[in-house]
């Protein structure tokens, strides 16, 4: 059981690094969906375990919501948004990809040392999984700031959210149920609103390159 979870958390980390290496928006969305499937599997495992030991179905319900939301609905919304904006293939990142991947690895090492410095965390048996999940948060954040296009920022935000969810489920077996539901509602609303805004930005600025958004300063 533990081995499977270890494996899944490592796969999740790899999917985040894979995301950093992509060049096109379509492949961002595809990798995001892959990561969502991995999360659903993790939640399924944990949910099954908690059903067997404690008899609670909370995590399994969450797993179903993840499949509906992150595997199906959100990628669909993103595809729709992307279809509405003009598709110009141009260099979408500030540094080149090998450097980006190297820096992602540095982030993993960084989160390993940060988390193992905290005595309460290092004692738990979930340590490695939490490190991986926490790295996904950092890589998502890094992905956001390394891309120029607005959709890249949305994906980065979603990857952060994925990492946070997995951190929660590995370290505390999930947040209280009602909080999790609230988080999902917020997330889907956020993606909807950001999607609408991307289309508006595309109309006003003729591109979704956020480098154009620099009128307001000082």
Where on the chain is the footprint of other proteins (CB under 8 A)? Answer: 118-121, 134, 137, 141, 144, 150, 153, 157, 160-161, 164, 167-168, 171-172, 175-176, 178-179, 182-183, 185-186, 189-190, 193-194, 197, 200-201, 204-205, 210, 213-216, 218
Question: C-beta of 103: minimal distance to other proteins in Å?
Answer: 18
Question: C-beta of 98: minimal distance to other proteins in Å?
Answer: 26
Nearer to other proteins, 98 or 185 (CB): 185
Question: C-beta of 173: minimal distance to other proteins in Å?
Answer: 8
In three-state secondary structure terms, 93 is strand
In three-state secondary structure terms, 151 is helix
CA-to-CA separations, 208 to 74, 76, 129, 183, in angstroms, rounded: 19, 19, 36, 27
Where does residue 56 rank: exposed (0-12), middle (13-18), buried (19+ CB within 10 A)? middle
Question: C-beta of 5: minimal distance to other proteins in Å?
Answer: 17
Where does residue 118 rank: exposed (0-12), middle (13-18), buried (19+ CB within 10 A)? exposed
Nearer to other proteins, 102 or 206 (CB): 206
């Amino acid at each position: 059981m533990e081995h499977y979870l270890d494996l899944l958390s490592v796969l999740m980390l790899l999917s985040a690094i894979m995301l950093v290496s992509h060049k096109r928006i379509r492949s961002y969305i595809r990798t995001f969906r892959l990561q969502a499937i991995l999360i659903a599997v993790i939640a399924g495992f944990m949910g099954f375990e908690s059903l067997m030991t404690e008899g609670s179905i909370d995590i399994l319900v969450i797993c179903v919501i993840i499949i509906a939301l992150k595997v199906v609905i959100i990628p669909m919304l993103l595809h729709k948004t992307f279809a509405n904006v003009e598709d110009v293939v141009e260099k979408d990142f500030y540094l080149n990809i090998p450097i980006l991947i190297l820096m992602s690895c540095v982030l993993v090492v960084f989160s390993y040392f940060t988390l193992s410095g905290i005595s309460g965390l290092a004692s738990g048996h979930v340590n490695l999984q939490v490190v991986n999940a926490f790295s996904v948060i950092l890589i998502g954040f890094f992905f956001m700031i390394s891309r120029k296009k607005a959709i890249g920022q949305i994906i980065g935000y979603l990857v952060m959210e994925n990492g946070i969810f997995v951190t929660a489920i590995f370290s505390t077996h999930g947040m209280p149920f009602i909080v999790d539901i609230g988080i999902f509602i917020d997330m889907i609303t956020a993606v909807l609103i950001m999607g609408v805004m991307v289309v508006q930005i595309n109309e006003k600025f003729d591109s979704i390159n956020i480098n154009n958004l620099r009128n307001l300063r000082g």
